[in-house]
């Protein structure tokens, strides 16, 4: 059956509103996605009917909450094709997941002279934690540069890998440029020199089918709110041998087997990395988002998004003085209008009910490499967008340009 986007949009109540007297055109999905009613219902159901702490009590509500919480973990494992739900660690988001690996793996395993390989297009969350590790351990950060097309220079990457490379941390999809990186090739290069790999999938999981076993990455991280789930919940997947060898990064309740004033025994996976009361509602809400996505034809959704991207790229290319940055293929398009500050354009678009993002997109080194000191405008799509949204943006840009 062909996709009925108008019907799907009814699942997202926020899309029905007006902004500044205009129908909302939401094209800021790379920052956060909207939530279907099924996710909102799951959050309400937990707080209204199951609200209790997990794992810690024998009463009925706790049992129900625990079952829903751990069922969500199993759903995540299935969604990313992890071999075991115990390899799924709850975090607050992709940022916290990267910090967990940086502190628990990086601080313990890296030493002076070891090299951490990043790319020029990384989000700050995949740069700053490794800078902290490098400062503390004496490790050295190396950076894969860009080609003239604002893609990763794979020839340079191949030359950067060496016996000193101990960690590759790379984004699956660039949040700023919408570029799908050749992560499978990079993972193979890293494995050839014995390096551990971390993939930042925050911008990928809402658009692509992810199989961590097929990728053969050591760690994979993502955030729930960028795949139609709640904020404040994220996932770290890791290979079991690595997770088993890593020490806890936070300590306290929930993550222990035994505590005395003389010594403590930590819990097994996944609990040794989940100190304190977790975001129970967030995990259940993410499970509901996975249920929602899994009930849809994701191939059809991807095809629909692809058509929207083609429409957007063609429309932007036809506008005078608009310059598209790079060659985006996955969900987001960054562009600038010559001699006009991106924030000014975004403000005028907002007056027309159109939501886009401006600035550095938490990727200042990328903007510096591209000599875009003011950043860019970024329009990012989700499957609930339709052709009229793209038309509205293009018309809004024409009106904005006339204003200047």
The residues assigned a catalytic role are 362
Order of all β-strands in the sheet with 322-324: 322-324, 332-337, 376-380, 357-359
3-state SS assignment for residue 26: strand
DSSP 293-318: HHTS-HHHHHHHHHHHHHHHHHHHHT
Helices (H) and strands (E) in the chain, counts: 15, 17
CA nearest 114: which of 128, 130, 125? 130
In 10-86, DSSP assigns E strands to 18-19, 22-23, 25-26
Q: Where are the beta strands (DSSP E) in 106-164?
A: 115-119, 140-144
Ranges assigned E (strand) in 53-195:
88-91, 115-119, 140-144, 165-171
What is the rounded distance in angstroms from the CA atom of residue 387 to the CA atom of residue 382?
Answer: 12
332 - beta bridge partners?
380
- Cα(104)–Cα(177) distance, rounded to whole angstroms? 30
Q: Are 66 and 58 in contact (CB under 8 A)?
A: no
Closest by CA position to 235, among listed 32, 75, 83: 75
Tokens for 228?
């139609």
């Amino acid at each position: 059956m062909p996709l009925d986007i108008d019907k799907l949009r009814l699942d997202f109540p926020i899309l029905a509103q007006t902004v500044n007297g205009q129908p909302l055109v939401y094209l800021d999905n790379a920052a956060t996605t909207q939530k279907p009613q099924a996710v909102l219902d799951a959050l309400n159901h937990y707080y209204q009917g199951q609200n209790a702490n997990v794992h810690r009590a024998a009463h009925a509500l706790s049992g129900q909450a625990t079952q829903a919480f751990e069922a969500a973990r199993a759903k995540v494992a299935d969604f990313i094709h992890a071999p075991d739900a115990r390899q799924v660690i709850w975090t607050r988001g992709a940022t916290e997941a990267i910090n967990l690996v940086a502190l628990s793996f990086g601080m313990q395993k890296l030493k002076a002279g070891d090299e951490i390989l990043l790319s020029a297009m990384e989000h700050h969350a995949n740069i700053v934690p490794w800078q902290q590790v490098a400062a503390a351990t004496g490790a050295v950060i190396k950076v894969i540069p860009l080609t003239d097309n604002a893609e990763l220079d794979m020839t340079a990457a191949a030359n950067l890998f060496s016996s000193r490379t101990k960690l590759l941390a790379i984004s699956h999809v660039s949040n700023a440029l919408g570029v799908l990186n050749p992560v499978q090739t990079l993972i193979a290069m890293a494995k050839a020199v014995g390096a551990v790999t971390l993939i930042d999938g925050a911008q990928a999981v809402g658009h692509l089918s992810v199989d961590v076993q097929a990728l053969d990455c050591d760690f994979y991280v993502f955030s729930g709110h960028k795949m139609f789930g709640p904020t404040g919940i994220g996932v770290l997947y890791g290979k079991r041998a690595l997770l088993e060898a890593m020490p806890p990064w936070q300590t306290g309740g929930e993550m222990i087997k035994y505590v005395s004033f003389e010594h403590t025994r930590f819990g097994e996976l996944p609990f040794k990395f989940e100190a304190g009361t977790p975001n129970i509602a967030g995990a259940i809400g993410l499970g509901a988002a996975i249920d929602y996505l899994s009930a849809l034809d994701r191939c059809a959704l991807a095809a629909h998004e692809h058509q929207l991207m083609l429409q957007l790229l063609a429309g932007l290319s036809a506008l005078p003085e608009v310059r598209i940055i790079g060659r985006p293929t996955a969900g987001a398009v960054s562009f600038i209008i010559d001699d006009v500050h991106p924030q000014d354009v975004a403000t005028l678009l907002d007056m027309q009910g159109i939501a886009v993002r401006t600035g550095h997109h938490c990727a200042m080194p990328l903007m510096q490499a591209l000599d875009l000191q003011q950043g860019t405008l970024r329009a990012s799509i989700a499957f609930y967008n339709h052709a009229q949204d793209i038309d509205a943006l293009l018309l809004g840009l024409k009106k904005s340009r006339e204003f200047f």
